[in-house]
Amino acid sequence: MSGRTHTKRFRVRKDSIAAARLHVRAILIEWKLGSLIEDSVLITSELTTNVVNHAKGTGDYFELGLRRRNGLLVLEVSDSYQWRTPELQKPAPDDLSGRGLFLVDALSENWGVRPRDPGKTVWAHLAINRVARP
C-alpha cells in the first residue's frame, strides 16, 4: 500500500507531546507499519517537545503529518516559529539537553528543515522495509 497521508493539529502545550505519540502509534498500527512504531514515536516525541519548548507564543497549534510514499514513512512536524531553525547538536556527556535532533539523526534515514509561511517544517524519513536495529 502506498500513497497514504494523515495530518492532525495539536495545541502547543505539554500534554500534546504524549497525545502526538499515541496518535502516531495508532496511525502506524492502522497502516500495518508496526516495525516503525518505536522509532517513529521517539522521533515524534523529540520533534513535538522542541515545538512545545521553543515555539511558545508563536501560535496556538502545530501540525503532525505522516505520509507513506515510495517505500518511506515521512514524519513531519510544522509550527509557526520562524526565528530559529533547529540545528543538530553534539551534546557533551554531562549536558542535560540538546539530544533531540541527535536522536532523530540516528533513527531516521534522513531529516531536515524546510521553511513554510509562517514558520518551518521539520521532517524525518524512515525506510518502510529497513532491517530492524539490534
Nearest to 130 by CA among 109, 113, 106: 109
Looking at the predicted structure, is the pLDDT value of residue 133 above 70? no
Q: Which neighbouring-strand residues pair with 10?
A: 62
Can you tell me the mean pLDDT for 99-125? Answer: 89
Question: How much is the pLDDT for 1?
Answer: 44
Looking at the predicted structure, is the pLDDT value of residue 82 above 90? no
Written as nine digits, the cell of 20 is 502526538
Looking at the predicted structure, is the pLDDT value of residue 127 above 90? yes
| Candidates 3.30.590.10, 3.90.79.10, 2.10.70.10, 3.30.565.10; CATH matching 4-127 | 3.30.565.10
7-23 burial code (b ≥16 CB/10 A, e <16): eeebebeeebbeebbeb
pLDDT tens-digit map of 5-45: 999 999 999 999 999 999 999 999 999 999 999 999 999 99
| pTM of the shown model | 0.86
